[in-house]
Amino acid sequence: MNFKILERKDREKTKDYVIRNMRYNILFFNLVPGEKISENQISDLLNLSRTPVREAFIDLNSSLLLDIKPQIGTFISFLNIDMSKELLFFRSSLEQNAVIEICKKGNLTLEKEFNEIIEKEQMLHQTNDFEKLIKLDNRFHELIFEELNYKKIPKIIENNTSYLIRMRILRLKANIRQTNYIDEHKNILELIKNNSPKEASRLITSHILELIDDMKILNNKYPDYFN
């Protein structure tokens, strides 16, 4: 098991610490789809009792990252294209409406923050620092809702679509689209600034849903990760 142990944060609850470690190792493929794990293994690795680990496993099962099979065992969930399509539809529906609302608002208060993210993405795109690239990508999309002063929606999206992050990381590893997504971020921002709601909505929808086509390539390249 290739498990990276993260440093515990101050006053971090034990279950949250377990979830953060598990999510990291699942999302970045230290724990690969289909791999069998146990509460005892994780308890020993993190030097914790089984109770918070068991609770964390239940939460991770709810977020589709673990597959708990009674009497058989617990496994890292496989990637599934149909499930991913459903989650992408959920995310794209929210974001396309958000950019329309921003255009209606008529001013962009977080323009500096948007530009800073794009600049950092351009600097990092040739590195293999997938963790930073994914964080920047997530932050760009979070700002869309923060521009509307919607603080809870990004967390709702994160809690319900973490399953998709593995697809996005796998796409980075496979060098699919390379810098294309950064150009799309720039174009989305320009369309918002130019008050073009239809075009901005159309572009952000295709930007999110293009992962569906990429998944077919990833399925061929990493067939053991899919079911």
* All structural domains of the chain: 14-76 (1.10.10.10), 81-225 (1.20.120)
CB atoms inside a 10 Å sphere around CB 131: 12
Torsion (CA) 85, 163, 135, 5 in degrees, nearest 10: -160
Apex 226 CA angle, 222 and 227, nearest 5: 150
Residue with structure tokens 């796998």?
A: 170
pLDDT single digits (tens) 183-215 = 999 999 999 999 999 999 999 999 999 999 899
42/186 Cα distance (integer angstroms): 41
pLDDT single digits (tens) 45-97 = 999 999 999 999 999 999 999 999 999 999 999 999 999 999 999 999 999 99
Concatenated DSSP letters of 175-206: TSSTTHHHHHHHHHHHHHHTT-HHHHHHHHHH
Of 24, 20, 22, 27, the closest CA to residue 38 belongs to 22
